[in-house]
Structure 1
């Protein structure tokens, strides 16, 4: 029986490349001269450091632009912990990955409501979809790609006949 897995993964190598490009742009831009602005990556958290709140917004725009070019969906970025003091501003951006329980339930419910002849099972950080026909599985993929209210980007792995 054909199967595939639904996952939400972050390509850390591409994220590092996007941050390197963003750091390079920040160091060469005139409006950031002498500000010691930089992006740092620790685990799945990106930290932006600069001098003002306005520059944090500009840095976030640069990061979004570079991440889009590298194929990273901005749905996985969540801005948190803005700390603005007298001459320093710092903000953390959490890069979300993995399917949490509420999102997995929402996806499984959408698959069951579609009335296609497939079964969906939660397997921790992924959802396994099984069906008798390959066409049914492809319809599930198209339906999930068309859903706009999902908080995370989805990838489809391990398609097997």
Structure 2
């Protein structure tokens, strides 16, 4: 009897890489001429990035700097959830950027539905913020990975623990 093969679908952000990208963005902010005498800053707190700037235009530039550093470090921009800019102390704007960790239940159900509708012979089960896909044939698992890479679920998916 052949043992079932499986893999897990996760959506995780590499936090050390995010920290490095934030540090690079802070360095660029301190060196750029258009941010001289500005109250603009980028800070990392737990799994949130806090952006502070003088006005909307500068806040958009801060976001662009941060996104360019994240992309260079291999962090998907789909993993970021931007809050609304809010007024803060000293006539500044403050914006929180949350990092999406794990697959939400509604997204997991959507992924399961896509797999079931495809008629690929795999079994998917939701395990907290991960999804385990198993099947007898490794070719079916490869087909499932290819199918899920083509779809856009609004989050970054990683395929791990392939056995």
TM-score (norm 2): 0.94
Is the Cα–Cα contact under 8 Å of residues 39 and 92 in structure 2 kept in the other structure?
no
- How many aligned positions are there? 159
Q: CA RMSD in A?
A: 1.1
Aligned to 1:38: 41
For residues 8 and 111 of structure 1, the distance between their equivalents in structure 2, rounded to whole angstroms, comes to: 17
Where in structure 2 are the equivalents of 1:97-136 lying within 5 Å? 97-136=101-140
CA distance in 2, matches of 1:33, 1:143: 48
Q: Deviations over 1:102-127 (max 9, x none)?
A: 00000001011110111000111100
Question: Could you list the runs of 5+ residues in structure 2 that have no partner in the other structure?
Answer: none
- The Cα shift of 1:49 comes to 1.1
Unaligned runs of 5+ in 1: none
**Structure 2: distance between partners of 1:22 and 1:143:** 35
1:24 corresponds to 2:3: no
Deviations 1:80-104 (A, max 9, x none): 0311366311111111111111000
TM-score (norm: length of structure 1): 0.95
Query: Contact between 1:52 and 1:84, CA under 8 Å: does it hold in 2?
Result: no
Number of the residue aligned with 1:57: 60
